[in-house]
Copies of this chain bind each other. A is one copy, B any other.
Amino acid sequence: MTEPTGADRDAATARDAEAVSKFVESFAAQLVEAGMQRMPARVFAALLSSDSGAMTSVELGEQLRISPAAVSGAVRYLAQQHMVSREREPGSRRERYRVHSNQWYEAITNREAVVKRWEYALREGVDSLGGDTPAGRRLAETLAFFEFIETEIARMMDRWRVHREQHFGKD
């Protein structure tokens, strides 16, 4: 063997596999409880708790004890949600999956597409029930709430970026 099996074995960054696994499973469990699918949740937690913030398909399969097919499905989902990005390490056919902290903060707050569809459905509702009926007014107010939320969240993320830079630097 010319290279160590699995992840980085450098003494300075040696990982306590047990501790990592414990975190991965408990954080993933919380994500699942919040509605995320199991495999994406586990893969995401694994990436989040890796030192480099990136892992290959094989590494993920080994750590989580899941098949390549499961890894594939999970990362496809995560990539679609913009919570993870794929990288090709040059001169290899291995793919690397990376969690960019910034990126996933945006992804988790940016339910923009979801909210837009809610707003669309609500507008349809207001139209067809009539803005002058009690129900129509309730829907209209709900719509206003989401519109409000949408702009507020954008501003909140602006403030976060400032806050983050102050506390953690640009990185």
> In the complex, what residue of chain B is closest to A134 when comparing beta carbons?
B51
Evaluate contact between A149 and B109: CB separation under 8 angstroms. yes
Within 8 A of B (CB), among A48-65: 48-53
Within 8 A of B (CB), among A137-158: 138-139, 141-142, 144-145, 148-149, 152-153, 156
- Interface presence of A77 (CB below 8 A): no
Q: Determine how many copies of this chain the complex contains.
A: 2
Tell me, in angstroms, the Cα distance from A2 to B153 when the chains sit together.
Answer: 51
Evaluate contact between B122 and A33: CB separation under 8 angstroms. no
Interface residues on A, range: 35 or more
Chain A residues at the B interface, C-beta cutoff of 8 Å: 13, 15-16, 19-20, 22-23, 26-27, 29-31, 33-35, 48-53, 101, 105, 109, 111, 114, 117-118, 121-122, 124-125, 128-129, 133-135, 138-139, 141-142, 144-145, 148-149, 152-153, 156, 159-160, 163-164, 167-168
